[in-house]
Structure 1
Amino acid sequence: LGALRALQEAQLRVPDDIAIVGYDDLPPAVQANPQLTTIRQPIEQTGFLAVATLVKILSGEPPESHEIVLPVELVVRASCGAVRMNAVAASAQKANYQANV
């Protein structure tokens, strides 16, 4: 969101002059103007796996050396230059995020 603000302060129009994508899909991404396209990651699953690994280590088990790949999701919004939502759909999405926070 800071990059979006900096681009706007530099008089660059997002997405007309430059497209921007964020990461984590935080609630402010929907409230930004334009709404920020983001990569959503499975935060709960990431936390669960991290805690499970820590519990094993604290129990004296040697840490496993392996790669864990979790799925991510591209959440397309206006900042990447995709087709813009109509005002009603955008308002509904904002209301849904606010209700779930």
Structure 2
Amino acid sequence: MAVRSLRVAGAYRDFCRAVKTTFAADPQIQRQLRAETARALRQQASLKSEDAWVADLKSGTDMIRYEVIQASLNPETQNYRAHITQVVDLLPPDEALKKQGR
């Protein structure tokens, strides 16, 4: 069964964008994640509501975007190097409020 929802399609597109950004150096993983997610959507489309699919895809997108960090091995030093795609400014609460002008 095909998924015929613009909301689900939009959530899937956001998922694919997160996969592409997070796994930029690993196209095989990108293809696998997109293919498995699309397969699950097609096979199980009637088992969940549109809202449930959108929520599940958003949850997966957030997990991939914010909780997965890629790393690569440096063969010379045998150390791993993390590839951070987003920097978060972690300030103590009082300094964060001052920065916001409160």
TM-score tier by shorter-chain length is under 0.3
The alignment's TM-score, normalised by the length of structure 2, stands at 0.25
